[in-house]
């Protein structure tokens, strides 16, 4: 029987091309993240994305990257449970047998349970390559997976099972570390998002009410006019920040009164909407709309007054009102203020106009019952 090949032996002539077979589900999650983590511009390129995920995932030491640590901890548990009258050599031998018969068997089953799906060729970047070939030959990673492609498959299959926010933490690990360091050391940050640049006094990383997205929360002001305007409470979604730089020449920490104002603002506004002023909005529901309101919790604005069974008053930002209520369509009516009412009317009219124009262009369009 020949020598067992190491991971490095699978990359010939330094081309570093790798066949990667993932389940359809895993590819779907990855392709979705190419859009979700793209700052809303254009989808990310798959090769840099996969390499970045690999490096950050291994740095986080999640399964299967932590196999050696897991098994070492198991060995200690088994050794401590074995009677002390055995010699050290016998204890080691018994422990290895238990590991082989139980833990490794379970791990083999877990690895073999990954679905075979769609194969694609990917390019292994230099840092990823070095990380792979630096895995010691005696590591359980090499013993269990044999080939780097199988190891990569396990990493990306496990990554795809994580929640969106956990995947976001992996992809943006470097940025999140930079933000947390700035908070600890009281540095201000320079942040670009969309076409805007901000000076930010960072306070913390928070999620929305349903733990869907992560936001940097703090005080901010436009960067190019920072000396003309005051700092205001603000939140920036991590996945929408195009650039985050630490200003090591500017140390600034929230005062006690600023922290109190920020925490108070977070109580009556949703974290995603801290940057905008709130307003009172009076809304009348249909019976169906009221039922939808009672069932739809995500981004629901704070209720401050119930006038009657179907008429409610909310205190929220313009963006939150639009994000939550626009989908209700004819099952709500904006009563006040007039500018919000007119905004909804204009958007609904544009949508109606679009469909009417399409019908004029396509006179053969039929109602659903005729299809």
Instruction: Give residue 227's pLDDT band: very low, low, confident or very high (50, 70, 90).
Output: low
pLDDT at residue 368 is higher than 60: no
Decide if 127 contacts 16 (C-beta within 8 A).
no
Shared domain check, 134 and 27: yes
pLDDT at residue 338 is higher than 50: yes
Instruction: Give residue 359's pLDDT band: very low, low, confident or very high (50, 70, 90).
Output: low
What is the rounded end-to-end Cα distance, in angstroms, of the chain? 66
E-strand ranges in the chain read 17-22, 118-123, 187-193, 196-207, 214-222, 232-237, 243-251, 278-285, 303-306, 311-317, 332-336
Q: What is the model's pLDDT at position 278?
A: 78
> Which of 24-38, 268-282, 288-302 has the weakest average pLDDT?
268-282
Highest mean pLDDT, choosing among 4-13, 74-83, 157-166: 157-166
Shared domain check, 141 and 14: yes
pTM exceeds cut of 0.85: no
| CATH number (domain holding residue 182) | 2.30.30
What mean pLDDT comes out for the span 318-345? Answer: 94
- 65 assigned to some structural domain: yes
The pairs formed by 157-162 with CB atoms below 8 angstroms and a separation of 24 or more are 157/22, 157/23, 157/26, 157/114, 158/62, 158/63, 158/64, 159/26, 159/29, 159/30, 159/53, 159/57, 160/22, 160/23, 160/25, 160/26, 160/28, 160/29, 160/30
Expressed as residue numbers, the domain containing 200 is 173-273
Q: What is the model's pLDDT at position 87?
A: 85
Q: What is the model's pLDDT at position 64?
A: 97
Closest alpha carbon to 252 in 197, 181, 185, 176: 185
- 367 assigned to some structural domain: no
Task: Work out how many domains the chain is built from and give that number.
Answer: 3
């Amino acid at each position: 029987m020949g020598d067992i090949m190491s991971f490095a032996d699978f990359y010939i002539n330094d081309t570093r091309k790798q066949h990667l077979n993932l389940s359809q589900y895993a590819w779907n999650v990855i392709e979705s993240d190419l859009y979700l983590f793209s700052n809303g511009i254009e989808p990310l390129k798959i090769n840099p994305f996969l390499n970045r995920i690999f490096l950050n995932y291994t740095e986080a030491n999640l399964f299967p990257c932590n196999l050696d640590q897991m098994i070492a901890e198991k060995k200690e548990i088994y050794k401590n449970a074995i009677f002390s009258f055995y010699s050290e050599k016998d204890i080691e031998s018994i422990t290895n047998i238990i590991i082989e018969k139980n833990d490794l068997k379970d791990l083999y089953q877990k690895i073999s349970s990954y679905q075979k799906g769609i194969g694609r060729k990917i390019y292994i970047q230099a840092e990823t390559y070095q990380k792979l070939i630096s895995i010691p030959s005696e590591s359980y990673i090499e013993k269990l997976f044999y080939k780097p492609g199988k190891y990569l498959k396990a990493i990306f299959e496990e990554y795809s099972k994580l929640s969106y926010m956990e995947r976001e933490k992996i992809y943006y690990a470097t940025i999140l570390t930079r933000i947390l360091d700035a908070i600890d050391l009281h540095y201000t940050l320079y942040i670009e998002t969309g076409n805007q640049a901000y000076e930010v006094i960072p306070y913390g990383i928070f999620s929305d009410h349903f733990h869907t997205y992560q936001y940097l929360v703090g005080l901010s002001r436009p960067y190019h006019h920072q000396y003309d305007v005051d700092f205001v409470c603000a939140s920036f979604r991590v996945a929408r920040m195009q650039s985050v730089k630490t200003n090591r020449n500017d140390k600034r920490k929230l005062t006690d009164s600023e922290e109190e104002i920020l925490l108070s603002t977070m109580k009556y506004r949703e974290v995603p909407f801290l940057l905008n002023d709130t307003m009172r909005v009076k809304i009348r529901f249909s019976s169906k709309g009221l039922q939808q309101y009672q069932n739809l919790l995500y981004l629901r604005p704070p209720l401050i007054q119930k006038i009657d069974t179907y008429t409610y008053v909310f205190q929220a930002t313009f963006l939150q009102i639009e994000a939550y209520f626009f989908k209700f369509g004819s099952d709500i009516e904006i009563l006040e203020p007039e500018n919000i009412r007119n905004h909804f009317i204009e958007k609904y009219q544009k949508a109606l106009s679009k469909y009417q124009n399409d019908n004029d262009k396509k006179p053969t369009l039929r109602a659903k019952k005729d299809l």
